[in-house]
Structure 1
Amino acid sequence: MKQKTFSQIVVLWKTDKKQYVKKSSFSAYSLLLENHLLPHFGRHILIEEAEIQAFVFVKLEQGLSQKTIKDILIVLKMVLKYGAKNKWIENHSFDVQFPTEREKNQLEVLSRSHQKKVMQHIQEHFTFRNLGVFICLSSGMRIGEVCALTWEDIDTDNGIIHIRKTIQRIYVIEEDVRKTELLIDTPKTKNSIREVPMSRDLLRLLKPVKKIVNPSFFVLTNDAKPTEPRTYRSFYKNLMQELGMPDLKFHGLRHSFATRCIESKCDYKTVSVLLGHSNISTTLNLYVHPNMEQKKKAIDQMFRNLR
């Protein structure tokens, strides 16, 4: 068994992995390796569970979220598994503990009245860039999906939006050159390729425009060149400030759409499909939180049955 260091294994693993995953995933893995794993474990020939646990505490201390750290550990596991398969390193499965998170993260959503105000404003001040915010509130699209939307994805005859691509700026490391590039690709998972019906208001907004635009142009720019998520995010931030809205992340528009669906008593499976989640548990964990009224009802019902 010819032992190799972690960083030597990483080089071989990347060459292998590149053949199987999307360019954007590969870029994300490379970034996590470069920024976190290689500086910490690069020279190691053996990686013990205790060291990984210590690494987790260091990262929490640096202010990384548990989700980010878990993503980093997934990459670490993949590399170690690959190294062990090729007998370059001993693979001990590791089980890392995280401190209990005390604060329940509140989902950020627009209140009904704020959502109405934003949608009203966009209907009265139509611009292609404004339209994107309206579309997200009406369909729950992700920012990369709305930036990649072209007019041919919008079917006003049948009132359907086809979501089939996403756009993101990825970080590319080739040899020793580091650069970023804009990538238009299929969405996150196969469930993300989906069709969302348009609301009446959205259809009324889009029908006249659709007749006169170039079908291959991007919706948000009405041009052959798209806007990228970072640029659109700052446009959105300014729009919300201008309207005196709470400081809500762009992704909050998707949360608001989902929350309105659940409030309207839509069945969860449908909401899950509209959002393009790969399984319904994602939807349930994120959006289905019984409120006090529902909790009381459950308790009353239970005791009524006991009588």
Structure 2
Amino acid sequence: MARRGENIYKRKDSRWEARLLIQKGKYRYFYGKTYKEAKLKMRLFQENIKIHKEKQAEQKTNAYVLFEGWLQKQVTLNNVKPLTYESYYHCMHKHIMPFFQNEQTNRITIETVSQFTKTVSENELLADTSKKKIFTIFKIALREILKDELNSASILAAVKSPKLETREVEIFSIKEQRSLEAAALQSQDQRALGIILCLYTGIRLGELCALTWGDIDWDSGFMSITKTVSRVKTFKQDTKKTELIVGTPKSRNSMRKIPVPEFLLKLVRHRKLWEENEDAFVLSGKETPIDPRIFQKLYKKLLVDAHLRDRKFHAIRHTFATRGLELGVDIKTISEILGHSNVSITLNIYAHSLIEQKKAAMEKYNAMHIASAEISKYAV
């Protein structure tokens, strides 16, 4: 076999053969009718390898690719619940990934992270709660992406969430609560009793929709919260479709047992809502749950019937907690019934109600003070 430089040979069949060492003991062969053709094929292959290696190196540091990979990993490893993933997906694609797609900010560094934090913080179109959510998800992703990096702590420190002002929660007054209860009891729609259930147990909308008859222990008077219903986007294909999912509650503490007031158990029996089938859902009466959005519409209708101004459904949960504090129920008990992960969350949410409770407690000292008529005796 004739040879003509650069590891290129002329074969006995008159073709030219270029041989390239890929790794120790392993070669790649290229053939051509002429020396130049064989050499060109080998050179093109070498250039493609170089480009591929450069792309791989770029992908290892490209922020957009890293965030996209992290997001995909959440699905592949089934790390999070569907509703949580939907939140991650929306936040990543709308706020985080577009920022790091630019050539000037396509690396994860202290500078780019600080710049992103500043951009989000100064965005007047975003509510403080939205900013906090963005930074929370941003930090979760960064922490995993940078876990093997030496400067990860410095980069994470550049993410500074805004301090949220404690806002007074929206509740129904006692008079408004009575009006809402009356509208629910007078409704021709039997599902309206779900409003009463929420007002006196504090369960979330998704937990109410997921409640089955098997979750209610009629003998002990306890209700088990083990499931929640949510409608989430379908990410299996490129569509805008959604699906109804019955899953576990948002946290371990959300899995709980709630004592149900005796009057409420009697009311449920009296309204003949109870079914023999323990797998049937309380609101639907079937083995498929009601869509939370459908129950939301019923709730809005009841507000109109009761001549009450519009409020979010979560106001019912806040009303339950506030009534409990007004009745002197301790904060730890309320926190456990609500399924909060810790008491501090309950304290932060209902800070205003606690202040009012303290005022009422201090008013009781009025009964102990020395009558004003007697004060003159002690005057100097």
Q: What TM-score bracket applies, with the shorter chain setting the length? A: 0.7 to 0.9
1:165–1:185 Cα contact (<8 Å) kept: yes
Matched to 1:98, the amino acid is: P
Does 1:195 pair with 2:257?
A: yes
Change (3 A) 1:269 1:222: same
Q: Which deviations, in whole Å up to 9, do the C-alpha atoms of 1:140-182 show, x marking residues without a partner?
A: 0101100111121122222221111001111233364453221
Q: Which deviations, in whole Å up to 9, do the C-alpha atoms of 1:46-99 show, x marking residues without a partner?
A: 34244123321354x22x221221121122223223332355997622143637
Q: Equivalent residue for 1:160?
A: 222
Q: Equivalent residue for 1:253?
A: 316
- 2: CA distance, partners of 1:253 / 1:99: 26
Q: Which deviations, in whole Å up to 9, do the C-alpha atoms of 1:10-61 show, x marking residues without a partner?
A: 23212433323223322221121112111222341134244123321354x2
Change (3 A) 1:8 1:142: same
Does 1:277 pair with 2:336?
A: no
Q: CA deviation at 1:128?
A: 2.8
Change (3 A) 1:224 1:293: closer
Does 1:23 pair with 2:82?
A: yes
- 2: CA distance, partners of 1:76 / 1:202: 44
Q: How does 1:88-237 map to 2 (within 5 A)?
A: 92-93=155-156, 94-96=158-160, 98=162, 101=165, 105-125=167-187, 127-174=189-236, 176-208=238-270, 209=272, 211-237=274-300
- 1: CA distance, partners of 2:236 / 2:287: 28
- Identify the match of residue 14 of structure 1 among 65, 71, 96: 71
TM-score norm. by structure 2 comes to 0.70
Larger radius of gyration: 2
Q: Equivalent residue for 2:48?
A: none
Q: Equivalent residue for 1:56?
A: 120
2:184–2:302 Cα contact (<8 Å) kept: no
Does 1:267 pair with 2:326?
A: no
| RMSD (Å), alpha carbons | 2.8
SS of 2:223 mapped into structure 1: strand
Change (3 A) 1:100 1:75: closer
Matched to 1:5, the amino acid is: N
- 2: CA distance, partners of 1:206 / 1:161: 13
- Which sections of structure 2, spanning at least 5 residues, go unmatched? 1-55, 370-380
Query: More deviation in 169-178 or 234-243?
Result: 169-178
1:46–1:89 Cα contact (<8 Å) kept: no
- Relative contact order, CA 8 A, sep 6+: which one is greater? 1
Does 1:75 pair with 2:75?
A: no
Change (3 A) 1:197 1:126: farther
Aligned length: 297
Q: Equivalent residue for 1:290?
A: 355
- 2: CA distance, partners of 1:212 / 1:295: 44
Change (3 A) 1:200 1:121: farther
Does 1:46 pair with 2:108?
A: yes
2:230–2:244 Cα contact (<8 Å) kept: yes
Q: Equivalent residue for 2:30?
A: none
Query: More deviation in 269-278 or 116-125?
Result: 116-125
TM-score norm. by structure 1 comes to 0.86
- Identify the match of residue 147 of structure 2 among 85, 93, 100: 85
Give aligned-pair identity as a percent: 31
- 2: CA distance, partners of 1:53 / 1:182: 35
Change (3 A) 1:199 1:124: farther
Change (3 A) 1:27 1:100: closer
